[in-house]
Amino acid sequence: MTDQKKSDEPELKGFEEKLKDQARRLKELVDSGDISGALSVVSDLDDTRDQTLFVEVGRLTRTLHESIRNFRIDSIHVSADKSTINDASDRLAYVVEMTNKAATKTLDLVEDTMPYAAEIKNEAKSLEQKWKKLQRKEMKPDEFRALSTSMATFLGKLSRDSDKVHENLSEILIAQDFQDLTGQVLNRVMSLVTEVEENLVDLVRMAGKVDIITGTTHEVADENDQSEEIKGEGPQMNAEVRNDVVSGQDDVDDLLSSLGF
Amino acid sequence: MNKDMKILVVDDFSTMRRIIKNLLRDLGFSNTDEADDGNSALPMLQTGKYDFLVTDWNMPGMTGIELLQHVRSDDSLKSLPVLMVTAEAKRDQIVAAAQAGVNGYVVKPFTAAVLKEKIEKIFERIES
């Protein structure tokens, strides 16, 4: 990419010089009345312009193609009819799938664990009350026997249930490995996006040159399109440095209360 | 606040629906149904079975804000309490939701405490 930037400028300079040279010749020929000579210079001028254009466009195409190929070499599925963007979408779909799987697994385990915690709490509470009764020496012998049995059952159950809770927590822990895997994929897609962006910037720069070469001017589209409706954007990045975005629930509450909520 | 009230949870991501349902159950609301966007939610709401709507904003098909507008323009639904739980955090959007008649607005990521507080506030205001 950087080689290209360096070599671009002399390329355009050469084009300028050729242009000046041919313009001078054209003027000379027109002045001297050699119309057919002048026309052939005009056609030369055209050729010079086209060649410069082709060289620039060709270089750009090559670079784009190169980055697309680089991205593909190590991709998971390589098939001839697949574009890079397609592949990037696949990778992102994989991220969605992985995060979905991890979230589902975690939720399953949490839902599975919660009743254990609730049950342990309930039984402990009921035993605690009985235990206090015992401490107050208000317990009858058969009540004590019942307490003794249920205490033994509870302790056994507590030990088994704690194992289960521990096992579930470990599985939840492991389920977080998606962060590593999806992170890697996201990094690759980000580097592709950066690469494509760089190439697009080059394309814009190149298009600027092409405009110079072809003498084209553009009408600038009105960027402040007022008809834009309120649309969903998804999570906001860098909310703390943006003025049009709230930075948390407190901000939302402030805004709503200012509106009379 | 009636803990048996029927609540419709609308979000395009099943995990978020599950999280909200679990949080609601922890708060004592276990009578919940799910829908994955406004298009599937609206006919469910129109059956008149629901007492409370919790909806995301950004969904394919019909978005949450459109669903809210539909609810408010429907005579049989216009007084249904609506809580928006969404990642949309632009001031303009919150103002738009308020103007469309939302009863509460929670930005993701949120906590169980925030959800509880907002739901309580909504029903306090309605019942007073």
> pLDDT for A138-147, tens place per residue?
989 999 999 9
What pLDDT, on the 0 to 100 scale, is given for residue A225? 52
**pLDDT below 50 — which residues of chain B?**
none
pLDDT at residue A155 tops 70: yes
In this structure, the answer to whether residues A104 and A40 fall within a common structural domain is no
Task: State the pLDDT confidence band at A206, using cuts at 50, 70 and 90.
Answer: low
Residues from chain A that touch B14, judged by Cβ atoms under 8 A, are 100, 104
Q: Does A259 contact B95 at a Cβ distance shorter than 8 Å?
A: yes
CA distance B2 to chain A (A): 22
Task: Please list the helix, strand and coil fractions of chain A in percent, rounded to the nearest 5, in that order.
Answer: 80, 0, 20
Average pLDDT of every residue of chain A: 80
Nearest CA in chain A to B18: A107
A218 CB contacts (<8 Å, ≥6 apart)? A211
Percent of all residues in chain A with a pLDDT value above 70, rounded to a whole number: 80
For residue B23, which of B12, B11, B32 has the smallest C-alpha distance? B32
In this structure, the answer to whether residues A92 and A171 fall within a common structural domain is yes
In a domain, A158, yes or no: yes
Q: Does B88 contact A256 at a Cβ distance shorter than 8 Å?
A: no
Order of all β-strands in the sheet with B32-35: B32-35, B7-10, B52-55, B82-86, B104-107
In a domain, A240, yes or no: no
In a domain, A44, yes or no: yes
The mean pLDDT value for A91-95 works out to: 88
In a domain, A253, yes or no: no
In this structure, the answer to whether residues A94 and A170 fall within a common structural domain is yes
Residues from chain A that touch B105, judged by Cβ atoms under 8 A, are 252, 256
CA distance B32 to chain A (A): 16
Q: Does B15 contact A248 at a Cβ distance shorter than 8 Å?
A: no
Q: Is A246 on the interface with B (CB under 8 A)?
A: yes
CATH class of B7-122: alpha beta
In a domain, A230, yes or no: no
In this structure, the answer to whether residues A66 and A100 fall within a common structural domain is no
pTM here?
A: 0.65
In this structure, the answer to whether residues A68 and A134 fall within a common structural domain is no
pLDDT at residue A1 tops 50: no
Task: State the pLDDT confidence band at A223, using cuts at 50, 70 and 90.
Answer: low
In this structure, the answer to whether residues A51 and A86 fall within a common structural domain is no
Q: Is A240 on the interface with B (CB under 8 A)?
A: no
What's the domain count of chain A? 2
Residues from chain B that touch A229, judged by Cβ atoms under 8 A, are none
Q: H or E element: which one contains B33?
A: strand B32-35
Better pLDDT: A53 or A76: A53
Domain that holds residue A14: 1-73+195-216
In this structure, the answer to whether residues A203 and A127 fall within a common structural domain is no
